[in-house]
A and B are shown apart, each in its own frame.
Chain A
C-alpha cells in the first residue's frame, strides 16, 4: 500500500480573481480509497477535474502514475476511470451502445457483464434518458471501471441509489480495492466516507483543513464523546449534578446525556454516583464523535491545519 499512485504537490487553481485551490499537497497510494470531503466551493471539483485532465493547474504539480494529466492526456485516459456526478452521456444512446462506444475508445472488449451486475440487464436496449437517476449513476460507474483502470474517480457515487445498489457499489469498491485499484472518492456522505475510505482529506476554502484516517480525524479536535445513561431511579435527575470533564448535559426521553471531553473519569464518576445513591443502572451508551461531527466542527470553525 506504499507505492504512490497520485501525487499532488502545492497545487493551485485560480479562476480570474478567485483562488479555488490554494497550494494543496497530498499523496494517494496503490490500492487505497482516498476520500475527498468538503463543503461546496471548497476546491474538490477543481482538484478532481485537474487530476482528470480537464483543467490545467495554475501552480504546483499533479502526477498520476508519473503521468502529468495536463499534458499527457493520451496516456492518462487508460489510467483513469471517472464516474461523473452527471454521467455525461447522450440521451439517445442505449446501454449496450454506450458500453461498446467507451470500451472501443479504450481498446478493450465491451464489458456487458458489468451491466448485468449493476442490475441493468433488462435495460440494455433502452436509451439513456429512459433510465432512472439511480440507473444512470450505475451505468456511469459500470462505464468508469469497464476498462479496468488502475485509478478510479468516484464523484458522489451513491447519491440517488437505493440501499441494494449502494451495497452493491460498496462491494464493488472493495473488490476493486483488493485488486489494487486506487479510488478517489468525493462524497458528501460522511457515513460512506467513514465506512469506505482508508484516508480522508477535508478541503475548506481551497486548502486542506485536515487529513488522516477516519479514526484519526474523529479522535482529534474538540470532539465530545456522548454518554447516554438510563437508570431505574432518579439518581441523575438533578441538573446541578457535576461530573468530571462534562461540559454539557441534556435530558432526552428516559436518558440523561452527558458530553464529555475525557470519557474515563466521566463514566467512572457516573457509575460511582449511581451506586452511592443505591440506584440501578439500566443502560449506558458511549458514542464517539462521528466523522460528520468532526466535519461540521472543521467547516463551521474554519480551522485550517
Chain B
C-alpha cells in the first residue's frame, strides 16, 4: 500500500511538474474553455446550455487522449518499465496509476469550469449533481482506458500521435460538443456513436443537465463503463515491458476489441 501511495504521489506531481503534461492537463483545457466562453457564447447563445459538460469532456479528452499515451511509450522506450519490472512494480500500477492521477487533474479542471462558467459566461449548472459526477467518472474511465491502450499498442511516439488524433479530432467534431448529435447526417451519426465523447455528451444532456437526450443516456453510461473496463483489461493483457521482448502475449490488433461496446451500442441505442 505504501508503494502504491508513493507511486501515486510521484505520478500526480509529474502531471504538474512535466511541462507537456501541465499543458495537456491544465493549460490547454482551461485556455480552450476561456476561448470558447468568450467566442462561442457570442456566436451561439445555446452553447451555454451544454457549456459545462462540453468543456468537462474536452478537459478529459485533452488530459487523457492527448496527454496519457505518449509518456507510456516514452517510458517503455527509455527502459523505465524494464527497471520497474526488475524492482517489482506491477503492470497494473504502471497503467492504472497514471490514469488515476490524470483523472484527478481533469477533475480539478472540471471543478474550475463548474465554478467559473456560471459567473463569467452565464452557463447553467448541472441539475442533477449525482449524475453529473457519475457521468464525468464514466467518461474519464472510458477515455483513460482508451489512452492507456493507445500507449500500450503504439510502437513509437509518432504512432501515438496518430492514434490519439484519430480519437481526438472526430470527438471534437462529431462528439456533440460543437455540433449537436441530432444535426449529424445518418451515416456520420453512426460513426459518432463509436466515440466516447458522443456517449458522454448524451449522458450529460439527459441525466445531468435535464435536456433532451438523443438516445438512451443510461445506455451511454453502460457503454462508457464497459469500454473503460475493457480497455484497461486489454491494456494490461497486451502490456509489454519493452519492445524487444519476444514473448508478446497477444496481437496489438486485439486492441480493436475496445470498440465492441460502442458497436453493440449502435445496434441497441439507435
Structural contact, A101 and B7, CB atoms closer than 8 A: yes
Contact of A86 among B17, B78, B89, B245 (CB under 8 A): B78
Given A80-B86, A89-B83, the answer on whether A101 and B246 have CB atoms closer than 8 Å is no
Number of residues on chain B facing chain A (CB within 8 A): 28
Contact of A105 among B80, B87, B242, B245 (CB under 8 A): B87
Closest beta carbon of chain B to A209's beta carbon, Å: 25
B interface residues with partner A (beta carbon < 8 Å)? 2-3, 5-7, 10, 13-14, 17-18, 75, 78-89, 241-242, 245-247
Closest beta carbon of chain B to A276's beta carbon, Å: 65
Besides the contacts A86-B79, A91-B18, A107-B3, what 7 more A-B pairs have beta carbons closer than 8 Å? A53-B85, A54-B85, A73-B85, A84-B86, A88-B82, A89-B83, A93-B14
Closest beta carbon of chain A to B19's beta carbon, Å: 9
Tell me, in angstroms, the Cα distance from A15 to B246 when the chains sit together. 8
Closest beta carbon of chain B to A223's beta carbon, Å: 37
Given A90-B75, A90-B80, the answer on whether A105 and B88 have CB atoms closer than 8 Å is yes
Closest beta carbon of chain A to B189's beta carbon, Å: 42
Q: A77 at the A/B interface (Cβ < 8 Å)?
A: yes
Contact of B2 among A74, A80, A97, A104 (CB under 8 A): A104
Structural contact, A97 and B10, CB atoms closer than 8 A: yes
Interface size class of A (residues with CB under 8 A): 20 to 34
Q: Please, which residues of chain A bring their CB within 8 A of the CB of B83?
A: 82, 84, 87-89
Structural contact, B17 and A88, CB atoms closer than 8 A: no
Q: Please, which residues of chain A bring their CB within 8 A of the CB of B246?
A: 15, 55
Structural contact, A56 and B247, CB atoms closer than 8 A: yes
Closest beta carbon of chain B to A157's beta carbon, Å: 15
Closest beta carbon of chain B to A55's beta carbon, Å: 7
Q: A22 at the A/B interface (Cβ < 8 Å)?
A: no
Tell me, in angstroms, the Cα distance from A55 to B240 when the chains sit together. 12
Structural contact, B86 and A52, CB atoms closer than 8 A: yes
Given A88-B80, A90-B75, A90-B80, the answer on whether A82 and B88 have CB atoms closer than 8 Å is no
Structural contact, A102 and B75, CB atoms closer than 8 A: no
Q: Please, which residues of chain A bring their CB within 8 A of the CB of B2?
A: 104, 107
Closest to A85 in B: B79
Closest beta carbon of chain A to B76's beta carbon, Å: 10
Contact of B82 among A80, A84, A100, A106 (CB under 8 A): A84
Given A53-B86, A55-B245, A102-B87, the answer on whether A88 and B3 have CB atoms closer than 8 Å is no
